[in-house]
C-alpha cells in the first residue's frame, strides 16, 4: 500500500489470488478492493486455472497479481486477462526461483530428506507448489514482451532483495570471491534477488510511481 499508493488510493482494485485479502487492512475508505481466487477468504471464488477472469474489459483501475502466476499452469492466459480487465495499471510480483535454488545450495537452507519448497519432489502431493522455474531476467523479459501484445508497457521494475551482502571487510571479501568464482556472464540479480516487482501501464496512462523498494504491505 505504501509503495504503490499513487495507483491504489481512491481506485477500484482487483486483487487476483488475494488469499486472505491482507491489503484490506491498509486501504482507505475511498478505495475499493475486490479479491478473487480459491483458498483463503476471497470476495469471489474464481478458479484461475480456467484462464479467464469473469469481468469486462477495463473493469478495474488497478489490478494486483502478487506471487500468483507461478502457481498456475495457465500463467500466460491469466496474465493476458489481468491486462484486459485493468483500465490503468497492473502490479505483478514473481519469485526468483534461481535465487531460491542458489541459497539452498550455498547458505545451508537445504536439509537432507526435505525437498526444496515449491520445486522439490515431496512424498505426498503438495497443497501448494510452483509450476514454473525462472529467473528475474526471464520474468522481466516475459513481462515486457507479453505487455506489448496487450496494449501495455512496463514502467517500473524492482528486483527486491538485491544487495543483502551487508557492509564491512568480510562482506567485501564475499563479494570479491563470488565475482571470481561465478561465470562473468551471469547476472548477480538472478542469484540474489528474491522477488521481481513490476508496474505495467495501459498506453493512455501516465501516472508516476515512487521508486522506493517494495515493502511487505
* Predicted pLDDT at 216: 41
- Cα gap 126→202, rounded to integer Å: 37
Answer for the pair 28, 5: CB distance below 8 angstroms, yes or no.
Answer: no
* Burial category of 25 from C-beta neighbours within 10 Å (exposed 0-12, middle 13-18, buried 19 and up): exposed
- Residue 200's DSSP bridge partners are 90, 154
What was the pLDDT predicted at 178?
Answer: 65
Residue carrying the nine cell digits 477468504:
41
19-48: pLDDT as tens digits: 999 999 999 999 999 999 998 999 999 999
User: Which three three-digit cell numbers place residue 200?
Assistant: 505495467
Given a cut of 80, whether residue 203 has pLDDT beyond it is: yes
pLDDT per residue as tens digits for the range 73-126: 999 999 999 999 999 999 999 999 988 887 777 765 556 667 777 888 888 888
pLDDT for 93 equals 97
CB 102 within 8 A of CB 215: no
pTM, entire model: 0.84
201 with 148: CB under 8 angstroms?
no
CA 6 to chain centre: 19
Average pLDDT estimate for 136-153: 96
**For residues 181 and 188, what is the distance between their CA atoms, to the nearest angstrom?**
12
Closest by Cα among 60, 52, 66, 59 to 23: 66
φ, ψ of residue 71 to 5 degrees: the values are -85, -10
Beta bridge partners of 197: 93, 158
Higher-confidence residue of 210 and 71: namely: 71
Contact 118, 101 (CB under 8 A): no
Each residue of 158-202: pLDDT tens digit? 998 765 455 567 666 666 666 666 677 777 788 888 999 999 999
Amino acid at each position: 500500500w505504501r509503495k504503490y499508493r499513487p495507483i491504489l488510493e481512491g481506485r477500484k482494485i482487483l486483487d487476483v489470488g488475494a488469499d486472505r485479502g491482507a491489503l484490506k487492512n491498509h486501504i482507505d475508505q475511498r478505495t475499493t478492493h475486490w479479491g478473487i481466487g480459491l483458498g483463503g477468504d476471497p470476495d469471489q471464488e474464481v478458479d484461475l486455472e480456467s484462464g479467464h477472469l469473469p469481468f469486462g474489459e477495463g473493469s478495474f483501475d488497478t489490478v494486483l497479481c502478487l506471487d500468483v502466476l507461478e502457481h498456475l499452469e495457465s500463467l500466460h492466459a491469466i496474465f493476458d486477462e489481468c491486462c484486459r480487465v485493468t483500465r490503468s495499471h497492473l502490479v505483478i510480483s514473481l519469485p526468483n526461483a534461481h535465487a531460491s535454488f542458489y541459497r539452498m545450495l550455498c547458505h545451508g537452507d537445504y536439509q537432507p530428506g526435505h525437498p526444496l519448497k515449491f520445486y522439490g519432489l515431496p512424498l505426498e502431493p503438495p497443497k501448494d507448489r510452483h509450476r514454473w522455474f525462472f529467473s528475474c531476467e526471464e520474468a522481466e523479459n516475459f513481462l515486457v514482451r507479453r505487455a506489448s501484445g496487450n496494449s501495455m508497457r512496463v514502467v517500473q521494475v524492482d528486483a527486491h532483495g538485491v544487495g543483502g551482502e551487508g557492509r564491512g571487510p568480510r562482506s567485501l571479501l564475499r563479494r570479491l570471491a563470488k565475482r571470481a568464482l561465478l561465470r562473468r556472464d551471469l547476472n548477480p540479480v538472478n542469484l540474489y534477488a528474491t522477488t521481481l516487482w513490476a508496474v505495467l501501464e495501459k498506453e493512455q496512462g501516465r501516472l508516476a510511481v515512487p521508486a522506493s523498494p517494495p515493502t511487505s504491505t
